[in-house]
Structure 1
Amino acid sequence: MKGMIFVELMNFMDESFGADFTERVIEQADLPNEAAFTTVGNYPSEHAGALVEAASLLADADAAGLCEAFGRYLFQRFEVRFPHLLHRYASARELLDHVQSHIHEEVKVIYPGATPPSVTTHECEGGFIVAYRSHRAFAHIAFGLVQQCIVFYSEHSRVEWCPDSVSDQARFIIRPGTDSDAI
């Protein structure tokens, strides 16, 4: 897994819970590299799982909820790091339609050796479905990314987690909604 994700995870914990909390998470996770990550490095995805598990335990918070919050944070970081990419698309649907064919292909160019998840879309009654598939169990991060994508494009939609979803294969239904339904 690319180091950029780890660096952003550490920043998310710092900003959300404080540097002392992050240090306790690092200690609790007991990683062999002591959570020394670089944006261009490659690290086992299990390290991210250990950090999330430790953060969940120390914050007494649901790990899935933390991952979703991190996904929303990560999309906001993408807004800063890759604005040229996001502004190519006029809507959340257009961006999500191109994650697999364009964005993840560009990720592979920027970060050789990256193995991004499969993200595909298709129509469904009353909306469209985003399907996530990965050897990493981070569907809740993807869910948060999709939620923040809707916010970024100022769209009034509901994002629903499909009940048959699991951590490495998930589907999210996006349906038009009202202001009170957003996200």
Structure 2
Amino acid sequence: MKGVVFVELIRMAESVMGEEAVDDILDKVNLDSDGAFSTVGNYPCSELMTLVGAFGAHLNAPVEALQVQFGEWMFERFVEGYPAFFVGKHDGFDMLDSIENEVHVEVRKLYPEVELPTFATERPAEQQLKMVYSSERPLQHFCRGMVEACMTHFGHKFTVDMQEASENGRFRAEFLVQKVA
């Protein structure tokens, strides 16, 4: 995983728990990187999961909820850092539709070695978008946070129904996003 994800997780944790608590946690967890992450480095997803678990234990919060919160945090970083991806997107559905065939194409140009999840989308009805997340990484709740933040960014009132369908070491979740009046 790209180091920017780790750096942002630590920034988010520091904003919630403070720098000292995060430093204490980093000193206690067993990470091959020793908790020294650079934005351009590559690190195993297992280290991200270890950190989320340690932060969750410190906060007495469920790991899934922290992943959702982190997905929302990262979406805002993407809005700030990559505004070009949002040009021409009229609503949240347009943005979510563009992840696989626009955003990930550009990310692969910059980082050919990156391993990205796949996102298949379809629009079963005018006010609905179905998105399927598939990855070797257990970040489906992170994805939910990104989806919710995207819809909020575009000013939608919405619901998200998430059905997990992971099996055989492949993590999969189906999201039904519905705009509501």
Verify same fold: TM over 0.5.
Answer: yes
CA distance in structure 2 between the aligned counterparts of 1:121 and 1:21, rounded to whole angstroms: 40
State the Cα deviation string for residues 14-73 of structure 1 (Å, max 9, x = none). Answer: 112211221132123221221111111111110101101111111110000000000000
Deviates more, 1:10-19 or 1:119-128: 119-128
Query: Per-residue deviation at 1:107?
Result: 0.8
Matches within 5 A, 1:101-120: 101-120=101-120
Alignment partner of 1:158: what SS? strand
CA distance in structure 2 between the aligned counterparts of 1:91 and 1:165, rounded to whole angstroms: 27
Alignment partner of 2:150: what SS? helix
Query: Per-residue deviation at 1:158?
Result: 1.1
Return the TM-score normalized by structure 2.
Answer: 0.92
Unpaired segments ≥5 residues, structure 1: 179-183
Give me the CA root mean square deviation: 1.5
2:154 is equivalent to residue 153 of structure 1:
yes
Name 2:82's counterpart in structure 1: 82
Name 1:97's counterpart in structure 2: 97
Name 1:17's counterpart in structure 2: 17
Return the TM-score normalized by structure 1.
Answer: 0.91
Contact 1:72 1:148 in 2 (8 A): yes
Name 1:40's counterpart in structure 2: 40
Matches within 5 A, 1:132-171: 132-162=133-163, 164-166=164-166, 168-171=171-174
The aligned amino acid for 1:24 is D
Name 2:179's counterpart in structure 1: 176
Name 1:181's counterpart in structure 2: none
Aligned residues: 177
Contact 1:26 1:34 in 2 (8 A): yes
Alignment partner of 2:137: what SS? coil
Contact 1:40 1:111 in 2 (8 A): no
Unpaired segments ≥5 residues, structure 2: none
Alignment partner of 2:129: what SS? strand
Contact 1:70 1:144 in 2 (8 A): yes
Alignment partner of 1:124: what SS? coil
The aligned amino acid for 2:176 is I
The aligned amino acid for 2:13 is M
